[in-house]
Structure 1
């Protein structure tokens, strides 16, 4: 009886999952069809989920002649740099707010909570003006630095470190270990699931970010993959065809899909296991 219920549950959940995947499958299918066929046909069979006629010319041309590899590399540099920066700032700030006593601790915590309520678009003009005065636009650090101080990351790590039993920290202090060694050798290994969750969410956000690169990067050599693809699609007449655009979309989304498939167990573990079980 339970097997039949499980079967019907899986079947019921598979239908909406397939419908959710149809646009992605359609994009993959179009990326493997010739551009001349897509340009001249009006038949719905050319836009089916099965690519026919099949060709890989769109991917070959994309990496041979386009600027997509450069945009792909830019997104990778920005996403990795932002992820490392967010982890460094969030872990140190979260541990300090959760475990250390220092002056003005309460005002700093209140400021972090206020930062959760301020939309990021509200600070775009001050950020743009500040980086323009420094002459940092059209550079990697202009794309990375504004996103390193993330209030939600500080709050996430602070809540995790608060959940760690104080006995662990007290035992380390009895051995004569300072707070820096406790943070590095005790707390960070315990915080691995939360750190992996924060790293994955930060990488996904950085990879898909469009608005700040649009503001800060005016030179095409500093475009990220999202900004570069948007520049192609916004002027379709100058693009190399629908198949090339769809191939660009597949290349842009592939790292995100692989990242989630590889590290999804860390996200589930962090959500279900809680703090100290990491």
Structure 2
């Protein structure tokens, strides 16, 4: 089958956009392999030698880094699982259950998307301070469990599932909970993967709330801990070390995306993964 000139033009445009998207990432990675002394002289010789892994060795030389990685894994992992569970329950309720004021409640949930994070930082800080939850995993996780986008995504996905599946299960005397858990929820794997990626990415890269809630170094997340190790002149005198920190912090997210990429593509396409 011959391809038209229009298809070739679209392909060329897609390749060009992909290259433009990858170039900054490649630039960051290459700079992370350069010594700070070399980068203080020039930053344009990206492909010239010498290369070094000293910047990564400096990161791993700090024993607190492993504690920060553990904190980020616990916070991001538990938060993602709870967001998936709560958003799925709420989405199924809005999609399948009829109750008084349903539209108003759903509108109130979506209104949370319009609330900027800095507007609620002070009330959250005072609330968790009164509960004594700062410098704890609960204090880092609980504020992010309210996920209006997750509720909206799961609601729309549940609405797209035919009701005949539930009706057939009801005829077999299956309970509502069993229908949700055994029949409907497995069909939402693409949406679950997409929401999980966004939730994990947001939790892993979160900086503002850990900066407020975690005041002890042993409770720092990776983003907060790496920022704490930077000097006032990190962007000029420690550029290679700064770029190595960025690559080191991004690796878990890239690995996670590589594993769930087909589910994300299927969710965007509106189908099931192959």
**TM-score normalised by L of structure 1:** 0.87
* 1:64 CA displacement: 2.2
Q: Give the equivalent residue in structure 2 for 1:188.
A: 185
Kindly report which structure 2 residues correspond to 1:151-170, keeping only aligned pairs within 5 A, or say none: 151-170=148-167
Q: Classify 1:243/1:68 alpha carbon distance in 2 versus 1 (closer, same or farther; 3 Å).
A: farther
Whether the 8 Å contact between 1:25 and 1:49 is mirrored in structure 2 is: no
Kindly report which structure 2 residues correspond to 1:18-57, keeping only aligned pairs within 5 A, or say none: 18-39=19-40, 42-44=41-43, 47-50=44-47, 52-57=49-54
Q: Which runs of 4+ in 1 moved over 6 A?
A: none
Kindly report which structure 2 residues correspond to 1:230-249, keeping only aligned pairs within 5 A, or say none: 230-233=227-230, 235-236=232-233, 241-249=238-246
User: Is 1:179 equivalent to 2:180 in the alignment?
Assistant: no
* 1:23 CA displacement: 2.5
Per-residue Cα deviation, 1:113-144 (whole angstroms, up to 9, x for no partner): 22222223222111111100011111111111
SS at match of 1:55: coil
Q: Give the equivalent residue in structure 2 for 1:133.
A: 130
Whether the 8 Å contact between 1:33 and 1:51 is mirrored in structure 2 is: no
Whether the 8 Å contact between 1:26 and 1:48 is mirrored in structure 2 is: no
CA distance in 1, matches of 2:260, 2:48: 30
Whether the 8 Å contact between 1:31 and 1:243 is mirrored in structure 2 is: yes
Alpha-carbon RMSD across the aligned residues, in angstroms, is 2.5
Aligned residues between the structures = 272
Whether the 8 Å contact between 1:29 and 1:48 is mirrored in structure 2 is: no
From 99, 108, 112, the counterpart of 1:111: 108
* 1:53 CA displacement: 0.8
Unaligned runs of 5+ in 2: none
Kindly report which structure 2 residues correspond to 1:61-140, keeping only aligned pairs within 5 A, or say none: 61-65=58-62, 67-102=64-99, 104-140=101-137
* 1:6 CA displacement: 5.2
Q: Classify 1:235/1:71 alpha carbon distance in 2 versus 1 (closer, same or farther; 3 Å).
A: farther
Unaligned runs of 5+ in 1: none
* 1:9 CA displacement: 4.3
Whether the 8 Å contact between 1:32 and 1:51 is mirrored in structure 2 is: no
* Mean CA deviation greater in 1-10 or 241-250: 1-10
**TM-score normalised by L of structure 2:** 0.88
User: Is 1:15 equivalent to 2:12 in the alignment?
Assistant: no
Per-residue Cα deviation, 1:157-191 (whole angstroms, up to 9, x for no partner): 11111221111111110100110110110111111
CA distance in 2, matches of 1:269, 1:48: 40
Q: Classify 1:68/1:23 alpha carbon distance in 2 versus 1 (closer, same or farther; 3 Å).
A: farther
